[in-house]
Structure 1
Amino acid sequence: MYNVLWSAPAKNRPGTHLLVMLHGYGTDEHSLAGLFPALPAGITGASLRGTFPVGDSHGWFLLDPYLQSGTAEVLEAAAGVFSWLDRVRAEGSFTGVSLLGFSQGMAMAGTLLRLRPAAFTSVVGLSGFITENELLAMAEPLPEPVPFFWGRDRNDWVINEDAILHTQKWLTENTALTARTYPGMGHAIDREEVRDVSIFLRSYVLPKAQDDVKNKSG
């Protein structure tokens, strides 16, 4: 069971697009709630708390200083998110689902996309990386490139060069990539990036959601 912060009360969620928001290592669901006001109308944000303990805070799976992780732990974390997501979708009437992840949360979002590439309309990755995983790579490239926004500072000291090179290669080969860099931002999210994320979501999520509603009603 996840602790979840919602951007809208339950009565306002039906008929909207669900954006699942995944925080970084050593934080919690409150760290991304500041993005709620920037979400375009028609998109409901759900910021989840990871279940892996990191001191007094949280993450999604164990991460070493080189950003390496065990396949079993990553897949277990993904299974937990899917279990929550399947239940939420069964209970509600969301028009579709997209993902947003910061730092390790981007790695989590990437893993979810790799496991169910047809389940998500778009993905936003902020100051993060894609995990190296030989098991998942066996089924790649993904069958249909999903729109993916990748924002970062080139001088972000947290994400090492090897992780950046792997992430860039994977995103180029598997997604419809929109890549942006923000000098001086560091390992963080700044106002300019938030603006670009909002534009990305309006461009790639809302038209798709409107089409899906028309198709269902037709």
Structure 2
Amino acid sequence: MTTSTWNPTVVWNRPDEQRADTPLLVLFHGYLSHERDLIGLAPMLPEEFTLASVRAPHALGPGFTWFPLLNEPDYSFDRVARAVDDVIGWLEGVRARHSSVTLLGFSMGMAVATSVLRRRPDLADAVVGLSGFAIPAEGDYFDDAALREQRPPLFWGRGDIDQIIAEPLVEYTTGWAQEHTAATKMLYTGLAHSINPPEMGHVSEFLRHQVLAADARR
């Protein structure tokens, strides 16, 4: 059990009284963005899901960040771990109400989603990563051995002209995803560091087949 007193700002797509026993889809925004960004994807996602869009803990510039960029001098893996542990503490407080938990992250938000999965493979049923990456492991913080045994479903979509995520991170994420998850990897022609309707169509299909169908079998 992770001890956390973090009480994040969260935007939900439905009122509290309508959330019980629904599949939960937690949204993690990217660098310098905010919790109202990804909630705009709601019309393109299966209506069965309760969406919770979470604000990153650190105000920066026009928005918020989960931790410093990997190439910044104040970056450290410890700062990643603190952010991830806070998310885990919050998730432990909400997951019991829901039939399943799926994590969706854009850009740095994908790093958060995959890091939560790697730290606590028991907390998420599936992960969706959009134009993002996984954090290179340090020490024994991640439980990748347990993850390799479970191989949960992962959707990873990105554009072929995305200039934001450095190629070494893409290569690392590719190797990690292939070794530890049941990965669906999609590359979109002409897409930069963004999301497009074809990708969201594939995300919705993934969520229906990998999450809603599994919920129905329980």
- Return the TM-score normalized by structure 1: 0.91
Find the partner of 2:105 among 101, 105, 108.
101
CA distance in 2, matches of 1:209, 1:107: 25
Secondary structure of the structure 2 residue equivalent to 1:125: strand
Report deviation, 1:191: 0.7
Identity %: 40
Q: Which residue of 2 aligns with 1:11?
A: 17
Secondary structure of the structure 2 residue equivalent to 1:78: helix
CA distance in 1, matches of 2:204, 2:196: 13
The change in CA–CA distance for 1:188 and 1:112 in structure 2 (over 3 A counts) is: same
- Return the TM-score normalized by structure 2: 0.91
Count of equivalent residues: 210
Find the partner of 2:203 among 182, 197, 200.
197
Gaps of 5+ in 2: 1-6
Q: Deviations over 1:137-187 (max 9, x none)?
A: 774342210100000012200001101000000000000000001111100
List aligned pairs for 1:152-191, cutoff 5 A. 152-191=158-197
The change in CA–CA distance for 1:137 and 1:75 in structure 2 (over 3 A counts) is: closer
List aligned pairs for 1:39-188, cutoff 5 A. 39-65=45-71, 69-90=75-96, 93-136=97-140, 139-141=143-145, 142=147, 143-188=149-194
The change in CA–CA distance for 1:131 and 1:67 in structure 2 (over 3 A counts) is: farther
Report deviation, 1:53: 2.1
Report deviation, 1:38: 1.9
The change in CA–CA distance for 1:67 and 1:165 in structure 2 (over 3 A counts) is: farther
CA distance in 2, matches of 1:27, 1:208: 32
CA distance in 2, matches of 1:15, 1:47: 18
CA distance in 2, matches of 1:73, 1:130: 15
Root-mean-square deviation (CA, aligned residues, Å) is 1.8
